[in-house]
Each structure stands twice: as structure tokens, then as C-alpha cells.
């Protein structure tokens, strides 16, 4: 068993730095006092202006030496720590593909860098294992789900089923379709995460694709009597058409889900500063401020009342597809109420 390294505490080095800084300051002050005393001894020989220039020169030299010492100490101790802090922020955002090096000769800093690299390596391995497991399991259960849905559809079309049996069949179909959608999203998300999806770039009408998405979801928004306020410019876009449709399907479906009965959804698309900007806004309850930063995480759902309607993968899939395509998405609560999502590509 590998012997565990005894950690060296950085606070010892910080105390040493403070002591060195204090000592340097005392030496500078003593030297300055001695030089001033010497100046006063020869003040009868030197003019007042000469005395002033000598004093200013000594002060400047003190600042120069003190500043140089501070820079050297900062480069040796604080720069590596600042760099480590920046990399830790990336890890906190889910980037585990990081390994950092340091030229510092301080043992404590070298140990911290080594431990950080080991931690990120283990996190990356765990993330890969989890992703592969979920992907493999999802792939394996997709076939039996499809079979169940097929047999239930056959039973639904049968004339021999009773009203009670028909009700059960409808519930089976509803849940198998939800499960099938979940599996499909997991597999697609896994491919996007691992950049294993084959992209086919082409030019297409983005505004028409968004309209097709709205039409596709017509049964859902018609049931809730939702009105659409659509303002879209004719927009030719170059990208993966089959992949991009998942963005609009998820964002529009999300807006429908959180809109009240008889609500309104505003959709706009336009060119701005050389980029394509898409905005969708519902008039639902909005997003609590403390939960807004989590809504793009996998399986995260901020409103328990709507959990039965989704699986928490839609917005995560949207963000990952946009990241892969060089786009970005942001969300805020609109002034009139509801959530407003902005996509820039």
C-alpha cells in the first residue's frame, strides 16, 4: 500500500513571507534614516535642492527594491495559487479534461498541483464510467421498449378490448413513449457529450425549421389554448439541420409546459451583430433565482409540479448541442413574468 504523503501546510510559507516583508521594511527604514542623518550632517555643504534630490532618490530606490521584492514573492507563491483557482473553476463547471503543471520549487505548491491532477483524473474516470453505463443500459432497453409499444398499439386497434382494457393500454402507450423519449435523449446526449455524433453541415431556412417545430407540437399547445406571437426574419443558417431541430423542439416544448392555460408564447428570430439571435418567452411562473444556474444540468427539474411531464434532459441537451455548434444560451425572468431563453449562434 502506497504511503500517504504528509501534507505541507501553506500557512507556514505565508508566515515566512510576512516575516520577510517585515524584515525588508525594517531594513529599508533603517537605511533611509541613516542616509537622511548623513544628509543632515553635510547640509552645510549641499544646497537645499540637492538635499531634496538625494532624499527623493533614496525614496525611489526604496520603492523600486520593495516593489521588485513584492513581484518576486508574488510570482513564487501567489501566481501558482491564482492559476490553480482558475482551473478549479473550470472543474466546478464540469470540465474534467484538465492537467496543470507548475515551475514552482515550493514543495507545498507542487504537492497541491499533483493532488489536483489526481483528483481531476479520478473525476474524469468516474464521469466516463457513468456516461458509458447510462449509454449502454439505455441502448439495451430501447429494443424491449419498442416491442412493448408495438404490442400495445396492436391491442389498442383491436375490436375485442373492453373500455377498461383500452384505458390500461392507453396508459401503457403513454409511459412507454415517455420512456422511449427519455432513452432517445440519453443516447443523443451521450453522443453529443463524447462528440461521437456525425455532423452534416448544410444551409437551410432556420425560420422555417422553427415553424415546423411549432406545428409538430400543435397537439400540446392546442390542448392548453396557448397563442403564439411569432416575429421571425427569413434566416438562412449553416449547420446540422437534424441536430438543430432538437434545440427548438425542447425550448418550445419547455415553454408550453410552463405556460398557463390560455397563455401566450413569444418567439423572435433575427440577425444581430453578424449573429443569429433566437428568443422564446412564456408567461409562466418564471425560474427562481437560486435555481437558474442549475437548469442546464442533467436530470435537473426546478418545478416539482411538472416533473411528470419531463425528464430533466431537454435543456441539458440544448446547451450541449449549442456548445458543440459554437453557440450559447442564456435565461432570465422576463419583466412581465415568465422565463425568457436567448440563443445566440
Output the tens digit of pLDDT for each of the chain's 345 residues.
344 444 444 555 555 555 555 565 556 655 655 655 555 554 444 444 555 565 556 556 655 665 566 556 656 666 777 788 788 888 877 777 888 887 777 787 788 888 888 888 888 887 777 667 766 776 777 788 888 888 888 888 777 778 888 888 888 888 888 787 777 777 777 777 766 666 778 889 999 999 999 999 998 899 999 999 999 999 898 888 888 888 999 999 989 988 899 999 999 999 988 899 999 999 888 887 777 777 887 766 665 444 545 667 788 888 888 888 888 998 888 877 788 899 998
> How many CA atoms, within 13 angstroms, populate the side-chain half-sphere of residue 20?
12
**pLDDT value of residue 209:** 92
CA-nearest of 210, 189, 187, 127 to 314 is 189
**pLDDT value of residue 277:** 93
DSSP 8-state code for residue 246: H
Number of residues that make up the chain? 345
**pLDDT value of residue 183:** 77
- CB-based burial of residue 202 (10 Å sphere; 0-12 exposed, 13-18 middle, 19+ buried)? exposed
- 201-344 CATH choice from 3.90.420.10, 3.30.1280.10, 3.30.565.10, 3.50.50.60: 3.30.565.10
Q: Give the strand order in the sheet containing 264-272.
A: 227-232, 264-272, 275-281, 339-344, 328-333
Rounded to two decimals, what is the model's pTM? 0.59
Amino acid at each position: 500500500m502506497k504511503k500517504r504523503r504528509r501534507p505541507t501546510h501553506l500557512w507556514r510559507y505565508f508566515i515566512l513571507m510576512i516575516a520577510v516583508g517585515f524584515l525588508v521594511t525594517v531594513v529599508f527604514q533603517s537605511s533611509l534614516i541613516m542616509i537622511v542623518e548623513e544628509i543632515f550632517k553635510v547640509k552645510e555643504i549641499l544646497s537645499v535642492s540637492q538635499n531634496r534630490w538625494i532624499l527623493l532618490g533614496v525614496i525611489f530606490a526604496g520603492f523600486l527594491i520593495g516593489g521588485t521584492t513584492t513581484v518576486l514573492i508574488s510570482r513564487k507563491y501567489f501566481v501558482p495559487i491564482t492559476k490553480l483557482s482558475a482551473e478549479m473553476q473550470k472543474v466546478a463547471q464540469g470540465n474534467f479534461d484538465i492537467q496543470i503543471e507548475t515551475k514552482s520549487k515550493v514543495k507545498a505548491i507542487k504537492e497541491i498541483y499533483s493532488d489536483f491532477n489526481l483528483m481531476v483524473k479520478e473525476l474524469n474516470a468516474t464521469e466516463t464510467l457513468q456516461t458509458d453505463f447510462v449509454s449502454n443500459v439505455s441502448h439495451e432497453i430501447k429494443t424491449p421498449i419498442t416491442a412493448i409499444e408495438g404490442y400495445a398499439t396492436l391491442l389498442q386497434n383491436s375490436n375485442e378490448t373492453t373500455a377498461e382494457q383500452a384505458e390500461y393500454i392507453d396508459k401503457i402507450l403513454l409511459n412507454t413513449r415517455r420512456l422511449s423519449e427519455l432513452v432517445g435523449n440519453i443516447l443523443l446526449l451521450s453522443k453529443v457529450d463524447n462528440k461521437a455524433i456525425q455532423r452534416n453541415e448544410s444551409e437551410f431556412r432556420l425560420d422555417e425549421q422553427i415553424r415546423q417545430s411549432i406545428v409538430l407540437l400543435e397537439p400540446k399547445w392546442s390542448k392548453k389554448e396557448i397563442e403564439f406571437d411569432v416575429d421571425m426574419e427569413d434566416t438562412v443558417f449553416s449547420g446540422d439541420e437534424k441536430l438543430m431541430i432538437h434545440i427548438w423542439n425542447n425550448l418550445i416544448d419547455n415553454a408550453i409546459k410552463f405556460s398557463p392555460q390560455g397563455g401566450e408564447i413569444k418567439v423572435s428570430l433575427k440577425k444581430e451583430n453578424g449573429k443569429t439571435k433566437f428568443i422564446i418567452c412564456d408567461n409562466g411562473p418564471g425560474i427562481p433565482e437560486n435555481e437558474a444556474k442549475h437548469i442546464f444540468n442533467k436530470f435537473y427539474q426546478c418545478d416539482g409540479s411538472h416533473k411528470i411531464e419531463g425528464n430533466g434532459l431537454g435543456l441539458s441537451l440544448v446547451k450541449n448541442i449549442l456548445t458543440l455548434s459554437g453557440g450559447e444560451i442564456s435565461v432570465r425572468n422576463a419583466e412581465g413574468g415568465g422565463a425568457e431563453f436567448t440563443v445566440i449562434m
